[in-house]
Structure 1
Amino acid sequence: MIKPALPANEAERLAALHRYRILDTAREQEFEDLVTIARTLCGTAMGAVTLIDQDRQWFKALQGFESEQTTRDEAFCAHAILQPGQLTVVPDARQDARFCGNPAVVGEPNIRFYAGAPLLSSDGHALGTLCVFDSAPGMLDADRASALRALSRQVGRMMEMRLLRREIDHHHREHAWYEARLAEYYQQLEQTNLELSEQTRTDPLTGLPNRRALAAAMSASIERAVEGPPAVAIVDIDHFKRVNDIHGHSEGDRVLTELADVLRAQFAGRGMAARFGGEEFVILMPGTPLHQAELQCHYLREAVRLLPIGLPLSVSIGLAAHRAGETPADTLRRADAALYQAKAQGRDRVVLAD
């Protein structure tokens, strides 16, 4: 384990931190919400908003285990603030000389993976981080790294708003300009949080809803099944691995986005199409009789065959209607079994579940 060095501008950095008067304040839901979004986006069990004081790391928000503060010498984030303009990512703390003997690595909470985005003051000082971490090794792709940095900027803006709010209170709200500025900050924050929350329900490649959004929509459709139970189809691109192997992953991504456009156009207003993972998509058709759903799946299959993408493309589809007493997962399992039958029977076909 290597103790973190002090930044060259440590005195100025501490002055900037104390100016915000945020240390030792109560937990606030707004900070917790951003940690929740960060953990969801990055797929980690733990996350925090940390501030690095003179000799301690203090948690403004913390999820995954309980603590109020740690010593600065043991803080991952004390290393992260040494590079204010960069995201610090530790794939496996046990393999990193800075952290291999750290008490938080060899003991609870057994940190292996860590990613921290510095929280910058208005004059550029790194005050702490928005960080996510887990007890298993991991990595962040470019999209999740970008989202984590965006969230850290939102934490910084909230701290600026708290400072501005105190100034407004100090002046007894005599200046309407300050109030307008505060309202503008809140509006920007709400809009950004809305966009970030939407990212947790949207597949970044295709723009379709993801598995999380599908699960919520299926549950709602089953509860509201006034016009009959929903039908669910699982769509799989035939021989998709060959596309990636022969033409490359960029061409594979193009095929996925083209299919997503077909699904979006065909089921807009009459259901929901979501990316289930890899080359699999799920179509949710609320209140749709099975024979009508089957016909729509055949239309989809023909539309895919006619796509002008320069590659032969077909899909196999497993279709199931929700049964009373089934969970959404049960219905999906029956549709998946039907999909495997479609593949076994030669692909490029629609098979109804038993």
Structure 2
Amino acid sequence: MPDHGGGPAQGRLRVVQARCPPEQHGERPLHDVEDGDGDRRSLAHRAQHVGGAAVAAAHPANVDAAGAGDPGGGGNGPQQVGQSQERHEQQRVHGRITPRFYGATRQGTRSGAGPAPGQGRESQGRVTFAGGAFTRAPGPAARVRGVSSVPPPPPSSEPARLAALTRYRVLGTPPEASFNRVTRLAAQVLGVPLAAVNLVGEDHQWTKACLGGDVTATALDGSFCVWAVRQEGAVLVVPDARQDPRFRDFPSVRSGVVVAYAGAPLVTPDGHRIGTLCVTAPEPRDFTPAEQETLELLAEMVVDELELRLRTEELTRARDHAHTLRDLAELMGEPLGPGEMARRALRLLGGAMRLDWAGLLHLSEQASEVLSDLASAPAARFGAEVRWRLLDPAGGLRATLLSWERVFLDDAAAVTERCPELLGTGLASLAWLHVQVEEEGHAPDGAYVLLLARLGEPAAWLPEERLLLEAAARSVGVALERAEHLQALERAALTDALTGLGNRRALDDALDDADARFADTGEGYVLGVVDLDGMKRVNDERGHASGDDLLREFALGLPAPGLHVYRLGGDEYALLAPVAPGEDPRERAELLRRQVQEAVARVQEQGYPADASLGVAAVPGDAGGATAALRRADACMYADKRERGTGRDTRRDESAEHPLPCEA
């Protein structure tokens, strides 16, 4: 066993800290420690009797210790080292120490362990740590100046390093056999009781695999492996942490759990050091160049496992995304409305990626609403907040969603910049895409938007996820186009092409609805049939184009609030007005008669020699339903037409008092 108590430092510093319960492992407070020779001394007492240089070595250079092996100095002689090692062996025999976690170091300066005052030993100078290495400055012996637990500062490439670590998506995952095999192999080959794979994050260290301890996490100010990650060398070696001013005051070192340490950085293919494969021993020992090379090779195996794990996940996601794309393409062929299409598309997306809330929104100047949504239970508050924000036409959310057609916000900073009003809902990542409707001649009333959210932990929208979202937006767009097309066909089927009024089919549908309302609520209606007189004369004298103009102009004079107008064909029109329960149907009949008179006046002012005949029937009162009402109104219209040549004015005055005199 090499003498690490006072002789020249062997190899480079390597640190692993194991934290154990004080009552189990004999951990003592900072002011009461045990020196390498087993004697208890307070730090103040030790500060009075140390001199020379401490044993401290750091990559790339090692520094010899002052007063090594000097029986009269502060260092341990060969006999004292042997006693210390014997005590360590007894510790391991009487009770195995199982560390909970390890890996933190402390940085600072310390004067060496020189001769005690009064012995006349010549000063060996001060050992200081700066720039990643220990150096000795000439001069008289110095006392202990204190030890710092602050780890080395991160390099300028730290954001890229953290991004490389995040890319593996391994933090917080359960133990895996492939990594456990590497730690077991490292412990067996190097002959140590503890080996672990540690990953160093932004503010904590997390253990992926551990042999001889528990898998856990610790803050970086208590992490040893952060030194191995942030140094320039290959393997960080600490032959005796008790003699290293960075690590000697850690509980695991003072309790004897961790004395020797070696850690090889995990270097990704693009050169980022994301963690370590490290081993520890409870007694001083050096790690030979061959052992360090073995540790480096095993660390490369860990990185290979991480890369294989990443590639496997990427292939699995690519396969699943391909299936989802296929399902979305098949969904486009389904005869579904926009709302149902959105629901099915969002369900497919929820199975292929993490989505806490997703919805199809319709945004317009008049009103904005959520047409369809899919939400997890924790996202109910987010959905309610979106709906509430959309109710405010002057609110910022609607304007923000309309301002950009395709947006992916990966983190809270981006969300804060674009949608600060949603931060109180736990929103972490947000995306929205406008649904494009390519229907020819389509003039959308507002915009359709797919909105998707992730709550809690931020997660970037991966390229393959963005591809799926765009495909989903296209599928919903196809459904909207189909719906627009069907609605256009329906409108065309119910619209008179010449006048733009409802046609005979539209009247039949309206009468069916009116009969249903009458049966359900007792709401009646008044039906009027109008025949435009003088049409033949206009066609003969002015041509059919003028006849068409006459039909259009007369149609423009018929509509009124609460009155529905239809063209039955040729020069015939129909008027339909609802009659509320208790309302006098004669008032609605007068409305019909007044509108016909206004339409006649309109065309006559334009020089057309035209007039009109009107027949009216009420349900109930004149008929029990639409068929009988239509027959009675038509008969009244022909009766009015026959009487037009004689007593016309008298006829209209009588109709005002008795609007429904015609016999069916």
Please indicate the TM-score interval, normalised by the length of the shorter structure: 0.3 to 0.5
Flag the structure with larger Rg.
Answer: 2
* Normalised TM-score (structure 1): 0.48
TM-score under structure 2 normalisation?
0.26
Q: Which has the higher contact order (CA 8 A, sep 6+)?
A: 1
